Structure 1
Amino acid sequence: MGWGRALGAIALALFATPAFAQPLPYHADPDAREMLPSLTPIPAIRFLTTADFPPFNFRDTGGELVGFNIDLAKRICAEVNVACTIQAWPWDQAANALSDSQGDALIAGLAMTEENGALFDFSSTYLALPGRFVTQAGDVEGFDPAALADQRIGVRTGSAHEAFLERYLPELERVGFDSEISGMEAVKSGSIHAWFGDALRASFWLNENLGCCGFAGGAYFRPSLFGEGMTIAVPAGHDPVRHAIDWALVRLKENGALDELYLRWFPVGFY
């Protein structure tokens, strides 16, 4: 998640930008509405996070902890009517702090790896991170991946998105880049026809290049390649907290609060 540090200035600039986002897809498990346990064992939820992953969790110019994850944690606590605390830790210490019972839940983008799965359980996905194509604005309408066989398509070398193109669209002429920014700048200059990569990262670049380019075609969700998305980690076996969080995520989707947060923090929607 180190790339988030480089987006701090961009994230701050987004808040004054009109929202062009689309509604957030329904990732939460609707069956979770039946899971709400007695709240007696959890009078409070102590959330842990980090302060260097904008726009999810970071400090604003006044030093206040803000972001999508911060607002979401507060909404979860309000939905299940429990007290809420949010404490920031350095990224390399946050998971250990959760293991050491310094908190009840970690909302900081901890990956659902096999190693982490041995220590933690995870909530439902509240924000999936799809792959998407980016083209110049004039090529967005009527975009068809099946018609790209004679076009140069950029992708980050060695990435999961390159693996996706190799597996599902092997006929495309792939052009490798070292970074997302350089690839999308190549779209802007016209040296390649389209870019395929992480939609979240692309949304930040597009916010600065709305007159040039845009998302083309649909969003591709492949958890086996792109990861499970954003979830909340709890210590293994702490089912009352996890069930309460899952229940709250369903409620927040149903009452529109989850979409509201998405529109606020991601003006250029990546779905």
Structure 2
Amino acid sequence: MPFRKIASFLAAFILAVLPAMAAQSDFPHYWDGREHVAKPDLSTVERIRFVTTVDYPPFNFVDATGRISGFNVDLARALCNELGVTAICQIEARPWDELQPTLESGEAEAIIAGLKPTAALREKFAFTAPYIRLPARFMALKETSFAEPFADTLKQKTIGVIAGSVHQAIFADYFPNSHWVGFPTRELMFRDLQAKKIDAVFGDGSDLSFWIGSPEAKDCCAFVGGPYIAPQFLGEGMMIATTLENQKLVDAFDFALKAIEEKGITSELYLRYFPVDFY
């Protein structure tokens, strides 16, 4: 689907669902309220240019007006506003394979595009604390009962997963005595769920949240059970990357991330782009 169509769908979906969901967010707190994070002096910083992509909605995409939009984009703006450096902040779109070279060459100061902090990347870049994690979730027809204890109930159910996916690996590891069926595509998996050929699906919570609210779902389904963070499979979460020499910016971003979380700004952005809460 073209990016403009994706953006238009997201905008319409958000406007329709947000009023009903605004008070129901379980967005987690990543910062300990007692933890002190000092605000660095950025008076000598002349520019803070973020680079991102436009192919990862709703985190970063081109909206119907042709502007760069998304959760990551609005988060970057909120951080700059919190730090009082809006005048020197810029956000630029680049292809994914150009993000790291752009940062290393000094053409940008930060990557905000879901770059995972692998051991190899930590040797080249500095990373902030995570600002969002994308948990795995179960989704089932609203009429399907999942009694507690949840893990025992799963043993009597058939669960759909995308074959060969990380979520298949998580399910097999966490629920070794439960039965799963692999599907080549999410469309086939969702179709079999609606046809009651399987009892639930297990996958990326953010992706499932959009399907739950989509016209194709016909209000059939809801999340069951809790979120599975599974860092050993899904990583540490989404972070902002800078060069190792720019640790001051990492400290500044961490200060701002903590501040906007405490003010509820991060949660507001989350519900703006993910009206169906996946936590």
Instruction: Using structure 1 for the length normalisation, give the TM-score.
Output: 0.91
Offset at 1:246? 0.6
Counterpart secondary structure, 1:268: coil
Q: Which has the higher mean CA deviation after the structures are superposed, 144-153 or 97-106?
A: 144-153
Q: Which has the higher mean CA deviation after the structures are superposed, 185-194 or 34-43?
A: 34-43
Counterpart secondary structure, 1:124: coil
Counterpart secondary structure, 2:89: strand
Counterpart secondary structure, 1:218: strand
Q: Partner residue of 2:16? A: 17
1:236 aligns with 2:244: yes
Offset at 1:77? 0.4
Q: Partner residue of 2:135? A: 130
1:70 aligns with 2:78: no
Q: Which runs of 4+ in 1 moved over 3 A?
A: 4-10, 28-33, 140-143
Residue identity matched to 2:96? W
Contact 2:52 2:113 in 1 (8 A): yes
Counterpart secondary structure, 1:267: coil
CA 1:71 to 1:205, structure 2 compared with 1: closer, same or farther past 3 Å? same
| Cα RMSD after superposing both structures | 2.1
Q: Which has the higher mean CA deviation after the structures are superposed, 30-39 or 250-259?
A: 30-39
Cα distance in 2 for residues equivalent to 1:211 and 1:115: 43
Q: What CA deviation, in whole Å up to 9, does each residue of 1:27-66 have, x standing for no partner? A: 2465764232222243442111112211111111111111
- Percent of residue pairs identical: 37
How many equivalent residue pairs? Answer: 268
Cα distance in 1 for residues equivalent to 2:34 and 2:126: 17
Cα distance in 1 for residues equivalent to 2:33 and 2:104: 28
Cα distance in 2 for residues equivalent to 1:16 and 1:200: 18
Cα distance in 2 for residues equivalent to 1:6 and 1:131: 26
Structure 1: give runs of 5+ residues left out of the alignment: none
Q: Partner residue of 1:55? A: 58
Cα distance in 2 for residues equivalent to 1:5 and 1:168: 38
Q: Which has the higher mean CA deviation after the structures are superposed, 31-40 or 50-59?
A: 31-40
Structure 2: give runs of 5+ residues left out of the alignment: none
Q: Which has the higher mean CA deviation after the structures are superposed, 154-163 or 212-221?
A: 154-163
1:213 aligns with 2:205: no
The 5 A counterparts of 1:1-271 are 7-8=6-7, 10-19=9-18, 20=21, 22-28=25-31, 33-82=36-85, 83-139=88-144, 142=147, 144-208=150-214, 209=217, 211-271=219-279
